[in-house]
Amino acid sequence: MSRVLFQVDGLSKRFGSGRRAHQALDDVSFEIAEGEIVGLVGESGSGKSTIIRCLIGLEREDSGSIRYDGIDPARPGRGELHRYRREVQMVFQDPYSSLDPRMTVRQLLEEPMLVMGGFPARDRMERILDLLHLVGLDAEHLGRYPRDFSGGQRQRIAIVRALVVGPRVLLCDEPVSALDVSVQAQVLNLLKDMQRRLNLTVLFVSHDLAVVKYLCSRVVVLHHGRVVDSGSVAEIYGNPRADYTRALLEAVPIPDPAYERGRRELRRQRAEVPR
């Protein structure tokens, strides 16, 4: 079994105080092993984005802990914060707002390497061109601005921007929800290919169960800030333990014969129980 890279243990976070207080996270625990793609699923308000914000340091947890390969991101030791920021990168939901419209593609892709340091000019351009090629873009796009690209192309550029510093982990916050359905599959296939080629570890946040089923190997289900279900894709989609997970699956038309067989068998068993 791959070693654990991310460990979230008893994470809790509350916003506000008194009667208006909102418990965004309540004792959330899960692990992410190196090289796997974990889906974090839940409806709006379930706490998904708060977890992401805690992982990247935009929010401080009230209690509990986050560990990344021996690093506590909230209390990093000397040199650890730089390593964490380099190894853990983010792909945001909206490619229209995550890329500075005043910068060319070249500037957007060079900036993270300049900030992190350690990338000579020749190596920077070689790395950019290699990654652009992998996502279906090339050198002629470097002088253009974000406005010159479609939504799918912008998200490809955003993915390259996250990858140029050589991260081990990608945190993806609803990265295809702002795209047309026709483009979503292209970006998902790209993420899957990049994960395989670069041996990335991915936390993929989404409300779309079909997307998570396609991309992820393991799933964590959130409801009102609590983990209500977790397991492999086969376990979650074939034999969900929590009523909330079953309700989510039944609310979305997912063509899954195994899950449908399980539902029919459960109905049959319930029908046979004497009343």
DSSP bridge partners of 220: 40, 230
Cβ atoms of 216 and 233 closer than 8 Å: yes
pLDDT (tens digit per residue) in 43-78 = 888 999 999 999 988 889 999 999 999 998 888 888
Q: Which residues contact 182 (CB under 8 A, 6 or more apart)?
A: none
Length reported for the chain: 275
- The whole-number pLDDT of residue 231 equals 94
Letter string b/e over residues 47-76, b meaning 16 or more CB atoms within 10 A of that residue's CB: bbbbbbbbbbeebebeebebebbebebeeb
Please state, in angstroms and as integers, the Cα–Cα distance from residue 70 to each residue in 35, 156, 250, following that order: 17, 31, 40
pLDDT (tens digit per residue) in 165-209 = 999 999 999 888 878 877 888 888 889 999 999 999 999 999 888
Q: What is the 3-state secondary structure (H, E, C) of 27-58?
A: EEEEEEECCCEEEEECCCCCCHHHHHHHHCCC
Rg (CA), the chain: 20
Q: Kindly indicate the confidence band of residue 13, based on its pLDDT and cuts at 50, 70 and 90.
A: very high
Percent of the chain with pLDDT over 70: 91
Q: Kindly indicate the confidence band of residue 256, based on its pLDDT and cuts at 50, 70 and 90.
A: low
Domain ranges of the chain: 4-272
Q: Is 70 exceeded by the pLDDT of residue 258?
A: no
Q: Kindly indicate the confidence band of residue 110, based on its pLDDT and cuts at 50, 70 and 90.
A: very high
Structure tokens at 189: 């296939």
Q: Which residue has the higher pLDDT, 177 or 264?
A: 177
- The whole-number pLDDT of residue 58 equals 86
Q: Is 80 exceeded by the pLDDT of residue 120?
A: yes
Superfamily of domain 4-272: P-loop containing nucleotide triphosphate hydrolases (3.40.50.300)
Residue keyed to tokens 């950019």: 128
CA angle 228, 201, 99 (to 5 degrees): 100
Residue keyed to tokens 């965004």: 24
> Mean pLDDT for the chain?
88
Residue 228: enclosing H or E segment and its boundaries?
Answer: strand 226-232
- The whole-number pLDDT of residue 259 equals 47
What mean pLDDT do residues 240-253 have? 85
- The whole-number pLDDT of residue 109 equals 96
- The whole-number pLDDT of residue 158 equals 94
Percent of the chain with pLDDT over 90: 61
Q: Which residue has the higher pLDDT, 57 or 13?
A: 13
pTM of the model: 0.86
